[in-house]
């Protein structure tokens, strides 16, 4: 999943980014509420972890504005303010969960899994299918003609993006955005290298290639 952490404390932000990245997520960090709101409005995130006390725009107002604009991305608010009234205020603003600081990182991971499962079951696709290729989003398992395809993390993210946009050209910038965070400095043809490896895995044992290169534009996946 791609997650956004909105946290103004550098040490806490680094801790969350490291832990979430090691758990297999693509993570971006915003250091204030205004930047967090702007990034969240790009609609590229599967979940947000938002500190309550933020400069420029506090976490409660950030979430409230997202909900007013009908952005339904799952949100976990984290805060040292942990009274029942504080929790109620956060939930009423539109948070899906409220976690008091300090917390165990394993608990945060469990809560992320819980709210995103609810998000998937609430009308979002859990399995993508294009022709004889399927991708189980929750379990990160790809199959073609019942053959299980072993995918590395970034290959999974690239394939997910291509399949969600099946029949349409996906640019290299879109793929870069899907599989690497904003802090990543792309060098050379890293997207092309990963797509080439992904294509070989998908097409192994078949006579047809599903991922097509569109010169000067990007890639296209189709049956």
Predicted local confidence at residue 108, as pLDDT: 92
Buried b (16+ CB within 10 A) or exposed e, 36-63: bbebbeeeebbbbbbbbebeebbbbebb
Predicted local confidence at residue 153, as pLDDT: 82
Residue 142 · residue 156 · CB < 8 Å = yes
Predicted local confidence at residue 121, as pLDDT: 42
List the structure tokens of 164: 């969600």
- d(CA 216, CA 204) in angstroms, rounded, equals 26
Predicted local confidence at residue 184, as pLDDT: 66
In the structure, how many helices (H) and strands (E) does the chain have?
8, 12
Domains of the chain plus CATH, in order, are 2-121 (3.40.50.2300), 127-221 (1.10.10.10)
Question: pLDDT tens, position by position, for the chain (223 residues)?
Answer: 789 999 999 999 999 998 988 887 888 899 999 999 999 988 888 899 999 999 999 999 999 999 999 988 999 999 999 899 999 999 999 999 999 988 889 999 999 988 877 655 444 457 889 989 999 877 778 999 889 998 888 888 889 889 988 888 988 888 887 777 666 666 668 888 999 999 999 999 888 889 999 988 899 998 7
- d(CA 130, CA 144) in angstroms, rounded, equals 10
């Amino acid at each position: 999943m791609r997650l956004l952490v909105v946290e103004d404390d550098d040490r806490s932000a680094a801790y969350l980014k490291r832990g979430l990245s090691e758990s297999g997520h693509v993570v971006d960090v915003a250091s204030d509420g205004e930047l967090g709101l702007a990034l969240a409005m790009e609609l590229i995130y599967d979940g947000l972890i938002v500190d309550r006390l933020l400069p420029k725009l506090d976490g409660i107002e950030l979430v409230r504005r997202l909900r007013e604009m009908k952005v339904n991305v799952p949100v976990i608010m984290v805060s040292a303010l942990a009274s029942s009234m504080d929790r109620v205020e956060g939930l009423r603003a539109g948070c899906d969960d409220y976690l008091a600081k300090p917390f165990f990182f394993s608990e945060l991971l469990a809560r992320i899994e819980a709210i995103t499962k609810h998000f998937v079951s609430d009308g979002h696709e859990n399995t993508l299918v294009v022709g004889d290729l399927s991708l189980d989003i929750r379990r990160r398992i790809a199959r073609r003609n019942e053959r299980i395809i072993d995918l590395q993390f970034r290959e999974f993210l690239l394939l997910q993006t291509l399949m969600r946009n099946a029949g349409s050209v996906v640019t290299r910038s879109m793929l870069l955005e899907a599989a690497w965070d904003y802090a990543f400095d792309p060098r050379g043809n890293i997207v092309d290298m990963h797509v080439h490896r992904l294509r070989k895995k998908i097409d192994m044992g078949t006579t047809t290639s599903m991922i097509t290169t569109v010169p000067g534009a990007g890639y296209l996946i189709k049956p």
